[in-house]
Structure 1
Amino acid sequence: MRCTRLCSTLMLLALFLLSCSSGTDTLQQPLPGTLPALQGEWVNMVVEIPAGTNKKIEYDKASGQFRADQRNGADRIIDFLPYPGNYGFIPGTALPVADGGDGDAVDVLLISESLPTGTQIVVRPVGALRLLDEGQVDVKVIAIPADSALQVISPADFTDFSIRYDGARHLIESWFLQYDGLGAHQLQGWVDEERALAFIKASVAE
């Protein structure tokens, strides 16, 4: 009898620990370094800088943490209007230095309500802004959430974005040209959502 009760207790304890372990696994999200760039027909994004803040935050691959960007030994604060969207990157991508890029992941500006640093979200590109930053190609993918329930604007494509939300497009362009000082970035132009998605796919690191 005593052995039966002990065995039952041990079995219940094992089941409890197993259920706790399974529950924890379902709550865990993959780190940005292991998150794939593509999610079905759309792409994954990791938010570094929430919309509406001036604090420049970057993901540090070495530590796996989000840290304040440094400039001249101090936390970098954008001396301009706050970020007009959630700013981050597409994991698993890199702009090849050989092609004029900086070797970093593809940048994304997500037009949506403010999201916390570290948020992982599936997005749909609506276009991309091409800039030059100190002679290097600097592409900013402009996107909206793939989930329509999270969208604050709903352009069908770049043409629709340019017509229905032309004011927003010009504001975004002006912001990127001036947030780091006038003349710091040079405009190369816009590309549509198809070319933006093709650019992302071509930037997926092997």
Structure 2
Amino acid sequence: MIGHAPLCVCDLNRIRIPVVGDEGYNMLVEIPKMTKAKMEVATKEENNPIAQDIKKGNLRDYHGPIFWNYGCLPQTWEDPNEEHPELKVFGDDDPIDVVEIGSKSLAMGSVTTVKPLGVLAMIDDGELDWKVLAVATDDPLAEEYNDIDDVPDAVKDGVREWFRWYKTPDDKPLNGFGFDEKYLNAEQAEEVIAETHESWKKLKSGDSDAGKLWLA
């Protein structure tokens, strides 16, 4: 359940994702690095506010801080009615997630241009939940990182293991990952982004069932 006191109203359906190129993609920041509050876009509430999760009447925090900036790409959608042909799981009904690994803490609700470096196919509760690994284009690390092999193994492993384990303190099972738990490269990440953007366009046009999602 999402909290009823939104901290930021973002309307993620109206933030434009630029075409592929040097400009990069627009990341909407939900959780700044080194914070614990479990914030997320409320996709079923009017204007898609960013708000803190509530469980049993209590605001939810992670059991430890997240070490990277976390957010999503507006105008993308992981279709819960579309089965991935290789992984044989369906989308999680959310925008595609982004883990930004740059050196700065990004403000919640800010929109930052990022460069995709790779992507993980996380399987969460039987649903496909892509995690795009990216770096802000204005971060110094953007000059060093252009593809997944440029990213230190310690960073890649840290991201994967954080998302594998983060639900276990709540007695939830470990999350798994497709493609032998390996990252796909930057080109494949952009293909995944393009596919989820096409799914979003079908959602907006009415060709896909929106269910309870709020669309402007």
CA RMSD of aligned residues (A): 1.9
Which segments of 5 or more consecutive residues in structure 2 lack a partner in the other structure? 1-9, 84-89, 202-216
Determine the C-alpha separation between the residues in 2 that align with 1:147 and 1:70: 34
Which segments of 5 or more consecutive residues in structure 1 lack a partner in the other structure? 1-29
> Which of 67, 70, 84 is residue 84 of structure 1 equivalent to?
67
Determine the C-alpha separation between the residues in 2 that align with 1:54 and 1:148: 23
Equivalences, count: 172
Runs of 4+ in 1 over 3 A off after TM superposition: none
1:125·1:142 contact (CA, 8 Å) conserved in 2?
A: yes
1:111·1:152 contact (CA, 8 Å) conserved in 2?
A: no
> Which of 124, 146, 164 is residue 156 of structure 1 equivalent to?
146
Which structure has the highest helix share of the two? Answer: 1
> Which of 111, 120, 129 is residue 129 of structure 1 equivalent to?
120
After superposition, residues 1-206 of structure 1 pair within 5 angstroms as 31-41=11-21, 42-61=24-43, 62-64=45-47, 65-79=49-63, 81-98=64-81, 99=83, 100-112=90-102, 113-149=104-140, 151=141, 154-161=144-151, 165-181=152-168, 183-188=173-178, 189=181, 190-204=183-197, 205-206=200-201
1:48·1:59 contact (CA, 8 Å) conserved in 2?
A: yes
Computing the radius of gyration from Cα coordinates, the structure with the larger value is 1
Give the partner amino acid of 1:59. V
Give the partner amino acid of 2:15. L
User: Per-residue deviation at 1:66?
Assistant: 1.6
Determine the C-alpha separation between the residues in 2 that align with 1:202 and 1:90: 12
1:127·1:143 contact (CA, 8 Å) conserved in 2?
A: yes
Question: Per-residue CA shift, 1:94-151, capped at 9, x if unaligned?
Answer: 00112200110000011121111101011001111111111001111010012244x4
Q: Secondary structure at the match of 2:26?
A: strand
Larger RCO: 1 or 2 (CA < 8 Å, sep 6+): 2
Q: Secondary structure at the match of 2:75?
A: coil
Determine the C-alpha separation between the residues in 2 that align with 1:37 and 1:145: 14
User: Per-residue deviation at 1:84?
Assistant: 1.4
Question: Per-residue CA shift, 1:150-206, capped at 9, x if unaligned?
Answer: x47831211222xxx111111111111111117331122221111111000110111
Determine the C-alpha separation between the residues in 1 that align with 2:93 and 2:174: 19
Identity of aligned residues (%): 27
Determine the C-alpha separation between the residues in 1 that align with 2:142 and 2:55: 33
Determine the C-alpha separation between the residues in 2 that align with 1:56 and 1:192: 28
1:177·1:184 contact (CA, 8 Å) conserved in 2?
A: yes
Question: Per-residue CA shift, 1:7-56, capped at 9, x if unaligned?
Answer: xxxxxxxxxxxxxxxxxxxxxxx843201233542211100001001110
Determine the C-alpha separation between the residues in 2 that align with 1:152 and 1:179: 27
Normalised by the size of structure 2, how large is the TM-score? 0.74
Closer, same or farther in 2 for the Cα pair 1:192/1:40, shift >3 Å?
closer
Report which stretch shifted further, 190-199 or 69-78. 69-78
